[in-house]
Amino acid sequence: MDKLIIRGGNRLSGTIPISGAKNAALTLIPCALLTDEPLTLRNLPRLADIDGFQHLMTQFGASVEIHGKRPEDFGRVVTFEASRLTSTVAPYDLVRKMRASILVLGPMLARAGEATVSLPGGCAIGNRPIDLHLKALEAFGAHIELAQGYVKAFQPDGGMKGGDFDFPVVSVGATENALMAAVLAEGTCRLFNAAREPEIIDLCNLLTAMGAEIEGIGTSDLVIHPVKRLHGATYRTMPDRIEAGSYACAAAITGGAVRLEGAKADDMHATIHALRNIGVHVNEDARGIDIETNGPLKPVNLTTAPYPGLATDMQAQLMALLCRAEGTSVLKETIFENRFMHVPELARMGADVSTEGRTAIVKGVERLTGAEVMATDLRASMSLVIAALAAEGETQVRRIYHLDRGYERLEEKLQLAGADIERVDD
């Protein structure tokens, strides 16, 4: 198993290319199950979760062709073709490590009329039930059974007739699954209080490119009109707003100046607002975002919320940055109940953070020191890397397989900006 060795103190400077969005890609890939024609996705990041999802697609009989395999390239172009489905089962062994696997439920149900999907796994950041996924599908006419750790869904005779579903709370994954199930329903489907994340818009744009008819894209009320079939398409995955925000925090904590090439500021308003309040200079243009810090970091109060609020996926990284602010900050986590597992590891590096329920109090310290730390989940892993870049001495980050799930060739990108970081066998 690999680990990262980071020797802190280097000021990051240079250009870091931003990859395609992991959270978008894991929603776009299962759209290939909705058509018998090829779907080509550009700018897919090279990540463990993407590889796992590609493997899952072959379980259903889809072919996967990877173009441009040069090792020096960031991102890939991949063509998926599910001309004939050979299975409608997503087994436990393929699903247990990746929560996004549940996103095959909607498209398989829509295309094949049935689907059997193992209950998913993923990061241990709190209880994330899939009840809203299932209730939305039932609202459109699907029959659902839970048995022996599997979700079994099937269409009634004559197909799903459509219907209305009002989300009692905003759910990104349930919105995505419902959208993919709805596009081939026999009747009109309406989603109210749907998630509005940029990744949802990316999904809607792809489905539209494949022939779907969706009203209200970008709003919380979506209307999906029936179409007989979808066709293939070629589509470019949106840039990763969480990766861009993570590298912005890395640059800021080192007092650096970094160009985030390819980042899209329109998808990151809440993160950019938080960074500016902390004292980070952020300049944006059509091709990327410039980050620079040349003064003290300021304490802030932050609360995570569904989009357009501050993404929960940025909480840990911003916490690491605020460990070096001059004063006390307060972070409130409203999305997941167990997303402060990085706090004890930051404390090993000298951070002063206390938690009470879903609130963290961060008292800035004059310095952080290198230590041996262990990653607990994807974004927590990145918070430790950010802290290590500013820490005195050497930090060893273990269990970095979490990082490989969501950050494409992280150490190489940080090396481009001057970080002293290497991957070694543990």
Q: Domains in the chain and their CATH numbers?
A: 2-18+239-425 (3.65.10.10), 22-236 (3.65.10.10)
> How far is the C-alpha of 321 from the C-alpha of 254, rounded, in Å?
9
Q: Which residues are annotated as a binding site for UDP-N-acetyl-alpha-D-glucosamine?
A: 99, 128-132, 313, 335
pTM for the structure as a whole: 0.95
Position 70 pLDDT exceeds 80: no
C-alpha dihedral (402, 403, 409, 411), degrees to nearest 10 = -130
Average pLDDT over residues 269-298: 97
Distances (CA, A) of 58 to 21, 52, 404: 22, 10, 22
Q: Which residues are annotated as a binding site?
A: 22-23, 99, 128-132, 313, 335
Q: What is the pLDDT at residue 99? A: 73
For 29, residues 6+ apart whose C-beta sits below 8 A from its C-beta are: 41, 44, 50, 53, 54, 57, 80
Q: For residue 168, how many other CB atoms are within 10 A of its CB?
A: 10
Average pLDDT over residues 39-47: 96
> How far is the C-alpha of 164 from the C-alpha of 178, rounded, in Å?
11
Position 123 pLDDT exceeds 60: no
Whether 123 is a known active-site residue: answer: yes
Q: Which residues are annotated as a binding site for phosphoenolpyruvate?
A: 22-23
Q: Which two tokens stand for residue 383?
A: 């918070």
Residue 119 banded pLDDT, cuts 50, 70, 90: confident
Of 31, 123, 204, 249, which one is the catalytic site residue?
123
**Residues 214-238 pLDDT 10s:** 999 999 999 999 999 999 999 999 9
